[in-house]
Amino acid sequence: MPSPVCLINAQAQANGVNVTEGSTVTVALASSVGVQNWDLTVFGTDELTTAPAITLGANFTATFTMPNYLGSAIILKSVINNNTDAFGVFQDSYSTKMGAYTLSFDGYRAGALGETFEGSEAYGWTAKINPIIRAGTLLVGGASGDLSGGYPGPVVVKIQGNQVKAQTLGAGQDGYILTWVNADGMLEAKPAGITTLTGDVTTSGSAATVVKIQGQTVTSGALTKGDLLIATSTSNWAQTALTGDATASTSTPGLITVGKIQGNAVKSGAQGSAQDGYVLTWVNTDSEWEAKPLNNATIVQGSVNTQALIQQNYLGTIRTTNNTATTILTIPAAKSGSVVTVTATVNCRDVTGGSVGDGFSAIMLTQYKNIGGTVSAASDANDQKAASVYDSSLNPNNITSTFSGTNILIQVTGQTSLTVDWTCTASVLVT
């Protein structure tokens, strides 16, 4: 026998089905056996709901959309074969009703017009009302205490007896908080800023201003890039430009440059590998501190030329395997107008040739000058070789000097057939 009984979201229709607010609900015949045609209509709704449109689909299915709020009820009526059998006789069993519900916030079902046993096949609509009655008396009449007006729509006018100001809030009050305003004796919607501060901070509305640090007044005024906050007395702070031996950058916050040491100027300039080991030296002719090679000069008879600098212990090592002149020491001669005298001691040893362990040592004296930034060999100056000790085919002629840019180069020349280890130390006098 054909049946109008349905499934709501694949659940049996008996006792109704709870669904989600705003969702699409699918209704389908539980069985299509003997069904020639089928119709599904809205039989009744709760007092707030307008009957939704039902869309019939294929294979005896239909869909509709539930109201998008809690506590709604829709009663549906399912009819097959136009309520008549194959002989044209009206059959009451060919139609049935069912309910779809969205629960209220506290889990109750609302009732719908025309509803009887759709929500409870055993007790009908009494199954909706009795739980509410047993839960407590419905609020009716006038409100009191922190509420004003009447039920079911009272208005909160107080919070624990404290008056709440009646205000209309909108986009202009976005982010406001409920604040106690003692002068008005009520709670009011106010900006989230702090209303009153004391001590080192003062406020005006939602704006806070630091006027002290640790109780000491900060002098107000416009700032200039590079200013520092300095204690100008035992009770005041003030923004002040850095003066004296240091200056503050106006373009890079926090960048401090030392331009003097106890009032004496320091020459500006970047240091690099060529200045490795330099020390800060007072150059009286320039009236400033400058980065210079370590000055080991000793005062003789009470005075010494402050431009005479001795740099001891230049040290270099190298290995040669051919007869190409190779630089073992690079000595700067960057001081314009200076004369540089180099005393180089060279020692070498044959490590793989026919006479392993043979070698020689020698001392070479050479002189260069820097005129206007151009380095050249001093006039009539040739490399002078002192007495040497040697026990190989290598000899002092294998030691030479030259220059490159503002550097003096001490070079050694080995032999193609020998592997030779070289060591060189040099003492440099700059005048």
Most confident residue range from 206-210, 297-301, 352-356, 384-388 = 206-210
* Per-residue pLDDT, 388: 63
What is the DSSP annotation of 214-226? TTEEEPP----TT
| Burial (CB count <10 Å: 0-12, 13-18, 19+), residue 58 | exposed
Q: Are strands 158-159 and 155-156 parallel, antiparallel or unpaired?
A: unpaired
Rounded to whole angstroms, the Cα distance separating 18 from 100 reads 6
* Per-residue pLDDT, 379: 60
Mean pLDDT, the chain, as a whole number? Answer: 83
Tell me the percentage of the chain whose pLDDT exceeds 70.
82
Mean pLDDT, rounded, for 147-166: 87
pLDDT band at 301 (very low <50, low <70, confident <90, very high): very low
**309-430 belongs to which CATH class?**
mainly beta
Rounded to whole angstroms, the Cα distance separating 43 from 245 reads 94
pLDDT band at 302 (very low <50, low <70, confident <90, very high): very low
Structure tokens at 404: 């490159």
The residue among 243, 296, 286, 285 whose CA lies nearest residue 266 is 286
* Per-residue pLDDT, 188: 93
Helix (H) or strand (E) holding 130: helix 126-135
* Per-residue pLDDT, 299: 33
* Per-residue pLDDT, 183: 93
* Per-residue pLDDT, 193: 63
Q: Which SS3 state, helix, strand or coil, does residue 135 take?
A: helix
Q: φ and ψ at 200, to 5 degrees?
A: -80, -10
Q: Above 80 in pLDDT, residue 312? A: no
Which residues contact residue 360 at a Cβ distance below 8 angstroms, ignoring those fewer than 6 apart?
Answer: 347, 348, 388, 389, 390, 391, 392, 394, 395, 396
Q: For residue range 204-221, what is the model confidence (pLDDT) as tens digits?
A: 666 778 888 877 887 777
Architecture of domain 6-135: Sandwich (2.60)
pLDDT band at 305 (very low <50, low <70, confident <90, very high): very low
Q: Which SS3 state, helix, strand or coil, does residue 131 take?
A: helix
Q: Which SS3 state, helix, strand or coil, does residue 33 take?
A: coil
Residue 350 near residue 392 (C-beta atoms within 8 A): yes
pTM, entire model: 0.36
Q: Above 70 in pLDDT, residue 421? A: yes
Residue with tokens 């096949």: 121
pLDDT band at 246 (very low <50, low <70, confident <90, very high): confident
Rounded to whole angstroms, the Cα distance separating 235 from 255 reads 27
Rounded to whole angstroms, the Cα distance separating 35 from 379 reads 126
CATH 2.60.40 positions along the chain are 6-135, 309-430
* Per-residue pLDDT, 300: 35
Other Cβ atoms less than 10 A from the Cβ of 117: the count is 16
* Per-residue pLDDT, 226: 61
Rounded to whole angstroms, the Cα distance separating 269 from 274 reads 13
Mean pLDDT, rounded, for 236-254: 71
Beta strands in 31-106 (DSSP E): 38-45, 55-57, 61-65, 72-80, 95-102
Q: Above 50 in pLDDT, residue 389? A: yes
* Per-residue pLDDT, 270: 84
* Per-residue pLDDT, 380: 55
Mean pLDDT, rounded, for 378-391: 64
Tell me the percentage of the chain whose pLDDT exceeds 90.
39
* Per-residue pLDDT, 304: 40
Mean pLDDT, rounded, for 282-294: 84
* Per-residue pLDDT, 37: 96
* Per-residue pLDDT, 206: 60
**Secondary structure percentages of the chain, helix, strand, coil, to 5:** 5, 45, 50
